[in-house]
Chain A
Amino acid sequence: MALEAIQGQPRPEPEREKMVLIAASGDLDKAWPVLILATTGAAYGMDVTVFFTFWGLGILKRPEAGLTGEDWRQKLLSVFNRGTPQHLQLSKLNFGGLGAKMMRDLADKHKVASVQELLTLAQQMGVKLWPCQMTMDLMGLRREDLIDGLDEPAGAGSAISLMKQAKISLFI
């Protein structure tokens, strides 16, 4: 399903309510709700930030990133944990990827926007996407291995500072 490009919503008022989502999982069934809530929060006029950490960082990997990392363990990790919205797997009933494929086919049939579409939509709606710097170092991911349009990599301190002010904070 192709979503037409939708312009971001300029909201001049300085103090918008904040929403913070911690995307810690690289499972398809977790990435989906993260991005559904992020885009809906933006539709509510909220200032939404998603912090991608640990397995969740894989959601931001560029499809053409291929083998990533310097260390052989990091490279191996990138083979077995490919990331990218197109290759996320289900946390259960995955059956070696067959389950994830069936879920994607069902989503397509029922016109549920894909993770990829929702990620693009989130960016268009002004949702801030923060990659976790520590996870990038741990997994040997460089800025160029991740998609364009992200905010500067950040850490737990930035996430806590933001969550202290946020009306909604969720760890997914």
Chain B
Amino acid sequence: MTADVVVDARGLQCPMPVIKLSQAIMGAEAGQTIELVSTDRGSCSDVPAWVADMGHVLKEQFETDGEFHFVIEKA
């Protein structure tokens, strides 16, 4: 994975994956990609909802070994 920033939210529960992602995106430049890794199943709906609402782009979303990965491009 070649994301510019990786956010590890594994083990954390709602609302922390979205909070951590929002903080990482605040610190990133437009066009940079951020990969969020989470184990909270609620992230699967919460993260895409947040990304769409904030106008960023969800480039990829996949699950491996019980971990949810989201690759987001900052608008």
Contacts and interface: CB of A to CB of B under 8 A. Distances in A.
Shortest 3 CB-CB contacts between residues of A and residues of B: A43-B22, A40-B15, A112-B13
Interface in A34-49: 36, 39-40, 42-45
A48 to B, nearest CB: 13
Given A44-B50, A44-B53, A111-B11, A121 B26 contact: no
Contact of A113 (B16, B22, B26, B50): B16
A9 B23 contact: yes
A34 B15 CA distance: 12
Q: Give the dominant DSSP class at B's interface.
A: helix
Interface residues of A, number: 17
B12 A111 contact: yes
A92 interface: no
A41 to B, nearest CB: 10
B29 to A, nearest CB: 15
A42 B23 CA distance: 10
A43 B11 contact: no
Contacts of B14: 36, 112
A43 B13 contact: no
